[in-house]
Structure 1
């Protein structure tokens, strides 16, 4: 999100009770460190460089009076006058506390330019002061003068204690991430980091930091080159590999660097888990599960890792294995040391509730609806989210009590912010679970009257129209969706697959699917669609290759139905039956497999 000046200035606002604190510090009644302000989130990179010792206070009677006048003006709401008097006092007394107070008065007055002027005066008076340089950096950022940040940032890094310099360098991308001008952001980072790019103790942090800024600026290849160089010079470092993981969606070669790094002994499990998350996001679930298992074998006390593993196993329709992983996640959460801070405790409760929801899903997938509802009953009413309520309602609907389930998601209180649209989508999930396609379609038509260009609802309506064989309506909706979101592969894939499935306009289907694959290379769902198109086009060998690729990456029952049919038509009946049986493990999701086997008259056993 672009950095906004007013919120940043507000974040640096005045402290309550400043006047006695300020005067006490100047009189020597309290150390200056006691009143030093902690930088806000997103402020200049922290530094632990030692400050020069404070100078003896120059607080004589006239100066005391001047400070009192400044505070009186501030308390009377005349912040501009207060700022002028305080800045003059700061220049006279040359004390960091007074400079800081002048800056804060300008912040209170919402005058970024005056705050920057005070910060510059402070740095001019105390050029080796880390606090002064940091204040200048903060004010330059707050007033969006990114082009002037290079030198002050570099100086701040140079003044930082050597033992902390790499950590401070690593915080630079976060500090710059809100910059609107990406090219200027990258240039600023280059200026700030130039002295540290080749020094042995900082080169890895500097290259990774600059690489992250380059990635944010849209220069993926340059970011990858920096990651590769950093990893070559420091093979044991985690930073270059984590950067490469983030680059994988836009720079495919980055995955090779990640794999090479993971092949080296001693890499922490965090790198492998990050790689697994990236694979999961790209729907390469089988590989993601393998790497998550390997990371957990090295470090098993990670409840979030077990939770992630369980969620992926559910996506792969392996509820028994998912249940085992999720039970382990609960045990790890229960044996974690008591939370000392409330936010951590709340996070643990959220993780536990998410785990319970997934355990309920695993039970429902096995057809154990009573067990599923028992799991969900463990979530206290004051923590019942719309997601948990929807899961509960889906199970009730699967038991045949659809009207009751719909009432629940419409009316039951939840702990999170559930607006009308969110509850509508929840009701839609309930109708899908009950396979009430006509009612789902009517609900979507009604919902879209309020916002015809809601792309989520548009896609859902297109899919429900296809279920009802309203193909003209489906096609019109998908073409409109493609016009609204031309970089989204989903509408091209859905329309291309529908044409191939109906064995019509195959040339157009192929064109649509190739466009979808270009937008989302390697996506297993699109690969499956492309394989089915090749089958409809009579190219069985290519169809098998693509469908095996999709099945290996994402073994979904629908892919099993397609691959099994191709093998069956090729006369490889035993192989086809083996694939069909694996697909049937998907339970309720395996309707396509059962329908295909019935059509082909393939034996169920």
Structure 2
């Protein structure tokens, strides 16, 4: 047998333990320790008589070491993991056996003894200083134990052991290693000096800049992240990764958008980047801007169904029912041309068809064609407990004056898990809210909050119902509780600031609250609208108009239209105000904000 085919240490021990167990079940006495080392030889598979003789290579395993391994494994089998760890770690140091070090680290990890695993990894590294696996294991354990300050040294050593072309992959794994760290700022502080070193070398410059940017983003340092993204985009113009990360930075750094728009202007054929940009705009609650990008995508790839579905959904959000219907019908036609759809067996194809029909049903409902909406829902082949479909059916019943039946439909849905029950309650409260049943929605939410008084989403929804009922002090108390439980809940800051501004009370406090919301979601249209409204209340017409135009341009919502129209009216721009009011009435003639401002200003759009 060649040296490379030699049995590892653990096989010898396993064979001895196996032989010992067998002997205890078939013989009156167990084998002696002196005979134990011969067991592995006896257990060798018998060689074929016709095969050529092979050179016999003796194992490096001497009797004392073998006995030590045997004791360690027996202790482990007897549940004495701590003793086994110490015995086997000492054996690993004596033998310098990489397999044994790996085994000892595994024993510690199985016993959830992270510090012991770290001791073993360090011993492994010290005993075998050229072992890449030892350094890699040490880096991984330090990340797992959230000790970023100690990572730089073994990581630097590991990088030096690898060829220049392989170092980038090691660096690229850093963000994933620390993705669960509770202290991302410490991670950035500990690793940025090393990454600056690697960024100075041509072969690792790009990946180093990107890793710094990613760690900075995770640490909440969007400014540092954007600086490194800009540098990477400038120095490596053929790479899209910096631009994709810039899209992720949009909520914190709106100026990152300039990188994307400049690239798309220079290379309008970059469909993957435009697709990611459109999705980012949709996530940022900017449906008008997102729809613009998806219209371009449908023009460039008219036979690709995906952009048509996104465009239809966005047009529906913008209450452009005709445009939504047209885009969704095109989507369904292209989907039907794809192989396998007619069988409706492929879950992906079935879900795609279901999504299109659901949006088409919503479009028909929006334009008042309830019969067509129900017909489209009946075409959907989905599980009976599907909440989205049940909600649309409940909404159709409510539109026909059968609100109680709609509520019963939602209440009858199965809810085995707590999150399913929560989703049902939120859906039913939304149904009541859409039908202006404020008190019923408030009471329903209150019943669930009694069981879980720290669910911030339920508390926020109840605060909105309290406002509708005119219980302003209660609304404020609920929102303050949401903020206390979840300090990053920017909707709560915005709602409280807007409520104060709308009542023309504590305007500076209102402005501070809305500013706080904007730190979490810069450019979010409804928050920008709130800031425009508080500026109007403070008498700053110019700034109010600028902000409200920005918000309305990103999301032409009727409530934003009401605010912008009133500011324009106050500034003497009555004709433009009338056009904005008329457009909002066309989108949603039942909207309370539009009706209120028209009545207050005595305007006929």
Q: Give the TM-score range, shorter chain.
A: 0.7 to 0.9
Deviation at 1:149, TM superposition (A): 1.4
Deviation at 1:100, TM superposition (A): 1.9
Residues 518-537 of structure 1 correspond to what in structure 2 (within 5 A)? 518-520=516-518, 521-532=522-533
Residues 181-330 of structure 1 correspond to what in structure 2 (within 5 A)? 181-190=183-192, 192-265=194-267, 268-295=270-297, 306-326=308-328
Per the alignment, residue 514 of structure 2 pairs with: 516
Give the stretch that moved more between structures: 265-274 or 406-415: 265-274
RMSD of aligned C-alpha atoms? 4.3
Q: 1:256 to 1:566 in 2, by over 3 A?
A: closer
Between the aligned partners of 1:71 and 1:476, the Cα distance in structure 2 is 61
Task: Please tell me whether the aligned partners of residues 205 and 239 of structure 1 are also in contact (alpha carbons under 8 angstroms).
Answer: no
Structure whose CA Rg is larger: 2
Task: Please tell me whether the aligned partners of residues 286 and 554 of structure 1 are also in contact (alpha carbons under 8 angstroms).
Answer: yes
Task: Please tell me whether the aligned partners of residues 415 and 421 of structure 2 are also in contact (alpha carbons under 8 angstroms).
Answer: no
Q: 1:413 to 1:486 in 2, by over 3 A?
A: closer
Deviation at 1:240, TM superposition (A): 2.0
Between the aligned partners of 1:256 and 1:113, the Cα distance in structure 2 is 47
Deviation at 1:336, TM superposition (A): 7.5
Structure with the larger RCO, 1 or 2 (CA within 8 Å, 6+ apart):
1
Between the aligned partners of 2:232 and 2:395, the Cα distance in structure 1 is 50
Task: Please tell me whether the aligned partners of residues 459 and 478 of structure 1 are also in contact (alpha carbons under 8 angstroms).
Answer: yes
Per the alignment, residue 561 of structure 2 pairs with: 560
Between the aligned partners of 1:199 and 1:266, the Cα distance in structure 2 is 32
Q: 1:127 to 1:557 in 2, by over 3 A?
A: same
- Structure 1, residues 314-356: CA drift from partner, whole Å, max 9, x if none? 22112333344445666777777989xxxxx877766665554
Q: 1:510 to 1:373 in 2, by over 3 A?
A: farther
Between the aligned partners of 2:340 and 2:102, the Cα distance in structure 1 is 39
Task: Please tell me whether the aligned partners of residues 384 and 415 of structure 1 are also in contact (alpha carbons under 8 angstroms).
Answer: no
Task: Please tell me whether the aligned partners of residues 247 and 280 of structure 2 are also in contact (alpha carbons under 8 angstroms).
Answer: yes
Deviation at 1:206, TM superposition (A): 0.7
SS of the residue corresponding to residue 556 of structure 2 reads coil
SS of the residue corresponding to residue 202 of structure 2 reads coil
Deviation at 1:113, TM superposition (A): 3.2
Deviation at 1:204, TM superposition (A): 0.9
Give the stretch that moved more between structures: 573-582 or 220-229: 573-582
Task: Please tell me whether the aligned partners of residues 154 and 192 of structure 1 are also in contact (alpha carbons under 8 angstroms).
Answer: yes
Between the aligned partners of 2:219 and 2:527, the Cα distance in structure 1 is 29
Per the alignment, residue 141 of structure 2 pairs with: 139
- Structure 1, residues 288-319: CA drift from partner, whole Å, max 9, x if none? 22234445655678766555444333221123
SS of the residue corresponding to residue 202 of structure 1 reads helix
Task: Please tell me whether the aligned partners of residues 463 and 478 of structure 2 are also in contact (alpha carbons under 8 angstroms).
Answer: yes
Between the aligned partners of 1:334 and 1:325, the Cα distance in structure 2 is 14
Between the aligned partners of 2:188 and 2:451, the Cα distance in structure 1 is 43
1:118 aligns with 2:132: no
SS of the residue corresponding to residue 203 of structure 2 reads coil
Report the TM-score when normalising by structure 2: 0.76
SS of the residue corresponding to residue 581 of structure 2 reads helix
Between the aligned partners of 1:301 and 1:176, the Cα distance in structure 2 is 41
Per the alignment, residue 99 of structure 1 pairs with: 101
Per the alignment, residue 464 of structure 2 pairs with: 463
1:170 aligns with 2:185: no
Task: Please tell me whether the aligned partners of residues 57 and 95 of structure 1 are also in contact (alpha carbons under 8 angstroms).
Answer: no
Per the alignment, residue 108 of structure 1 pairs with: 110
Report the TM-score when normalising by structure 1: 0.76
Deviation at 1:423, TM superposition (A): 2.3
Task: Please tell me whether the aligned partners of residues 558 and 593 of structure 1 are also in contact (alpha carbons under 8 angstroms).
Answer: yes
Deviation at 1:207, TM superposition (A): 0.7
Per the alignment, residue 394 of structure 1 pairs with: 395
- Structure 1, residues 428-473: CA drift from partner, whole Å, max 9, x if none? 1121232223322333344444455654334333332333444554
Per the alignment, residue 578 of structure 1 pairs with: 579
Equivalenced residue count is 552
Task: Please tell me whether the aligned partners of residues 393 and 409 of structure 1 are also in contact (alpha carbons under 8 angstroms).
Answer: yes
SS of the residue corresponding to residue 506 of structure 2 reads helix
Q: 1:126 to 1:431 in 2, by over 3 A?
A: same
Between the aligned partners of 1:81 and 1:543, the Cα distance in structure 2 is 72
Deviation at 1:172, TM superposition (A): 1.3
Deviation at 1:479, TM superposition (A): 5.7
Q: 1:170 to 1:382 in 2, by over 3 A?
A: same
Deviation at 1:534, TM superposition (A): 5.9
Q: 1:418 to 1:360 in 2, by over 3 A?
A: farther
Task: Please tell me whether the aligned partners of residues 214 and 220 of structure 1 are also in contact (alpha carbons under 8 angstroms).
Answer: yes
Gaps of 5+ in 2: 1-9, 19-39, 46-56
SS of the residue corresponding to residue 215 of structure 1 reads helix
Q: 1:455 to 1:64 in 2, by over 3 A?
A: closer
Deviation at 1:72, TM superposition (A): 4.2
Between the aligned partners of 2:537 and 2:282, the Cα distance in structure 1 is 30
SS of the residue corresponding to residue 249 of structure 1 reads coil
Q: 1:493 to 1:125 in 2, by over 3 A?
A: closer
